Amino acid sequence: MSKKENYDAVIIGGGHNGLACAGYLAAKGKSVKVLERRHIVGGAAVTEEIIPGFRNSTCSYAMSLLHPNIIADLNLEKYGLQIHKEEHTMLVMSENDHLFLSEKTFVDEVARHHPDDLEGYEKLHDTIEAIADVLREVAFETPPNLGGGLMDLWRTGKLANHLRKLTPELQAETYRMFTMNIRDFLKRYIKGDLMQVVMAHSSQVGTLQSVDSGGTAYVLLHHMFGIVNDQKGEYAHIHGGMGSISNAMAASAKARGVDIEVNAAVTSVIIENERAVGVTLEDGREIRAKVVVSNINPKLLFAEMVDEKHVPALFTRQIKDYRCHSATFRMNVALDELPKWNCLANHDNYKEVVQGSMVIGSSLDQYQEAYEDALKYGWSRKPILQMMIPSVIDDSLAPEGKHVMSLFCQHFMYELPDGRSWDDAKEEVADYIIDWVDQHSSNFKKAVVGRKVLSPLDLEREYGLLGGDIFHGSVVPDQLFSMRPVPGYADYRMPVKGLYLCGSGAHPGGGVSGIPGHNAAREILRDI
């Protein structure tokens, strides 16, 4: 006989957005149950052991989008969140040279490489920042549904009010960012290869597209709307890794009375009288609730947990077409010593240089080649990598004198062209990536003492990232704002009454922001 439990809200998935949503609902006196399939909460924002003694953020790797308001609302610092205050830096490495950008080195480095780009970069930075200021506001708004009613007209008016804060010139640039490819957009401001790589790299994260694909300029903007330590568009390391964000959210939610259960896989949404009234678990239990809230990929939700008969045929067609093809290959390695980058030989302040983001890439042509390789072979022969060594700042992650490194690898296909399984190919590809990095370092390969390899298929199976897509759906113009996840259902309410989205498949999309969870909670509270 199944055991029944009753709550105001049951949340499928204990990722950070689900935890944020739970915290906001509980703050208003609602009883909430969070069900997480894995043995730990956090979804893709987790810290896990690579080999004994070495821990790292296995999926997401740095904080950039978690809004200060959410940190304050959920009292995350009280529950253990510690943000490392060190300045974020970025190192771009070509075969024989480097470009190291920090607040102290910026002017000198740009002058050394591309002196004609200094003025253009400053104009580009000011343009992006002005647009990002508006985007930060829009991110907290509920998008209007296309073809909706009076409420949606009101939401459209609010959006227009936000855009009115921009000059006509900046409104035009906003439109260009949503439609232009990143190469053409950047060429209007900066010409130097390495400077273009600095700006274009973010446009390739979370989207399997070419630098010549329309809309990639927006992807850059998406990564820039965060605020860290009162600095806009910056990144930060979290003490103990990204799992510390999720753990703090869980502790905050529990303090407000939220019931969190791990190893609790949901198999279906219970629908009675065309309304979601609870969920069924793998162990046969039923959890009943006034509303059901999903933090998993919306395509996964409707493919596996909601019977098509309860959903309009048009919605079914649209959600099946929802694209989750921006596969990522993720590696975490344990290191016996710091990598010795060839282009940094005899650098005066080595640890400062390697404490932030490190990218191997010499030009946008290399990015284009990587994309074309992926289409042809399944992965790039010269992969585009973003690397971080958080243990340079946080000694809790590795034994004394040792280190951990994140390798976030772009331009990988979910389906390999030759029909091979990623289970058969991933170690070969991991070896290839290590060899590629080793070409830029005199000691990297021999310094690796362990690794955790996550292919697109692993990301799907272990973390629920359908298609290996870290954002629960590709970040492309036709899957944003009122189009996310599909037209007519952008307000966090799904076609089944009482069923809501609170994850990255809803506005404003992917990244560890907590904003979809915050916004969904606001709409749920209006309904119950």
Domain with residue 508: its CATH number is 3.50.50.60
The answer to whether position 311 is within a domain reads yes
- Given 232, 253, 288, the domain boundary residue is 232
Same domain, 223 and 247: no
C-alpha pair distances (Å), 484 with each of 143, 279, 291, 304:
9, 24, 21, 19
Instruction: State which residues form the domain around 188.
Output: 120-232
Same domain, 292 and 405: no
Same domain, 399 and 275: no
**For residue 228, what pLDDT band results from cuts at 50, 70 and 90?**
confident
Who has greater pLDDT, 326 or 404? 404
C-alpha pair distances (Å), 411 with each of 379, 390, 414:
6, 24, 10
Same domain, 337 and 433: yes
Same domain, 356 and 462: yes
> Based on the structure, what is the number of domains in the chain?
3
138-184: per-residue pLDDT in tens? 999 999 999 888 888 888 888 888 889 999 999 999 999 999 999 99
7-34: per-residue pLDDT in tens? 999 999 999 999 999 999 999 999 999 9
Who has greater pLDDT, 104 or 497? 497
Same domain, 416 and 350: yes
The answer to whether position 438 is within a domain reads yes
Same domain, 363 and 418: yes
| Residue 423 main-chain phi, psi, to 5 deg | -60, -30
Same domain, 343 and 414: yes
Same domain, 172 and 218: yes
Same domain, 351 and 401: yes
Question: What is the average pLDDT value for the chain, to the nearest integer?
Answer: 93
- Given 418, 443, 466, the domain boundary residue is 466
Same domain, 458 and 507: no
The answer to whether position 104 is within a domain reads no
Percentage of the chain exceeding pLDDT 90: 77
Burial class (CB in 10 A: 0-12, 13-18, 19+), 450: middle
The answer to whether position 254 is within a domain reads yes
pLDDT of 3 strictly over 60: no
DSSP label of 227: E
Report pLDDT for 64: 84
